[in-house]
Structure 1
Amino acid sequence: MVTLNTGQLETALAFGFLPVGLALAKATSRASEGVPDFVKEEFGGQFDLDSITIVGERTAPDVEKILTLEPDLILTNKRVDEAILKKLEAIAPVVLTNGGGENWKEDLRIMGEALGKEEVAASMLKEYEDKAADFAKKNSAHPTVSLLRNKGDEYVMHGNRSLAGIVARDCGFHRPASQDFEDEQHKAVSPENLDVLEADYMFYGFTKAGQALEESTFWKDLNVVKDGNAHAVDVEPWYLNASVVAANRVMADMQKPIG
């Protein structure tokens, strides 16, 4: 199979399948040039991840390269360009997930059904939800949490519909007013307006292009930074890959400063 969109690679691996091809997030957003590090950490001991062929970016997969891999199944999502979808359907059967961080739980179910792993998918989701519920009980003070990443040289804060936003809610966190939105996954924030990020905790994922912000006065003046409660995280599971594997990684990272 070939996996072309968010979360599909690690979900397939969690089900026991090694894809032959993988499409990557946009170069301006991702932290790796191949299989993300968190996926290597989780599955590198079980699978030969170096055997996976990169087939371009998610929004513009290399159809000719996919054809040469002779996949028996192609996984993409409903946001795929219609012209590309027709080309993919001429190669192999196509399964469409919904895509987006807000749909990760439903997309887990869809993939489980498509790959004959419905019970495994249900068990994985229940395990996540049980852990999140336990964490929420310990996190009863409901501290606020800010979620930030860069897209090239721009910065965005993630709202309630992102994967990290959903995990935060499931784990008992509240959100600062600036990020308590449902209409989109993320909204832009300028370095001059970083005060809207003030919260009890902040988890930020920066690629090299975004790290300069940490040296700015705007950043250093934030109370959440001065108090030592701003935590750098891996942008790939937190903000670029929507799956139960990523959600578990995000939850584990959130637990570390809480204790």
Structure 2
Amino acid sequence: MGELIKDLSGRTIAEEQELKIIYDGPSFNGQMEISDLTNQLKSTESIIKEIIGEIYKQKKFKEKVDVKIYLKLKRGSFKEIISVVLNNPITTQVISGCLIALFINYLNKKNKKKAELPKCEINIENLVNNYNIAKDLKYISDPLMKKEDSIRIESPGRQTKSITIEFKDKHLFKKKLNELRDRIELKVSIEEFFGNLLDISLSKHKYGFLLEESSRVIPVNFDKDPSINELRKIFTERLKIKAKATRKDGRIESLGIINYEIKKSKTLTDFIEVKDGKPKNKTTK
């Protein structure tokens, strides 16, 4: 049984339930970095809020439940314990089951016996492929620094369910985060650009393209490699290209040229703005 939460008059409001995240090992003998501890607390709260949001999204609660989260830090010999206190026993059981199921999925511990697995009331696929959750899980595992270190997550209730994350499992969280980062950040679109073909390595079929009004040479390739004579013809010429642009975090990383045509270099008349069908000359002072 958990502790009872009471108001100022001594009346019971709800039964307090604890979900424990226990860091055990030589790295946790009162020596944890403050930055690690801060990240742990923030990440724990963030994951629980994400789980609660997914629970409501999948309509597993018929009525809105007022969920309050309290984080407590308990210290013992070679241990750091984050105690997550929620004010609703039913909600706590659901959240605990989902959190443990999430770790099991990341660690790919399919060999656990069915009786040992927690009951997760929702489909956790959205949580597994959530970049923010992957980042938070990595933060939670970051403090594991020595091979004897481990994290144990225990759900509350009469029949405690738990999972242990060992130091050797730590790389799995980073691997998943990198997979999701690449999937999320790399975006490909077909666009038109102006610029010059400048950097050429014929032997390796590697080319560079200087975007107009930019000082950056971007790696490019052609859907169909042009002949040497064609390269001589277009080298340093101003080109208009239609290309597959690959962006990472909004920055162009590479271009795949589908087709191109030579365009005349800009002259003063190219800078004349046309407004309402009438040319408007720019003047300088």
Q: Using structure 2 for the length normalisation, give the TM-score.
A: 0.20
Q: Using structure 1 for the length normalisation, give the TM-score.
A: 0.21
Please identify which structure carries the higher strand content: 2
Please identify which structure carries the higher helix content: 1
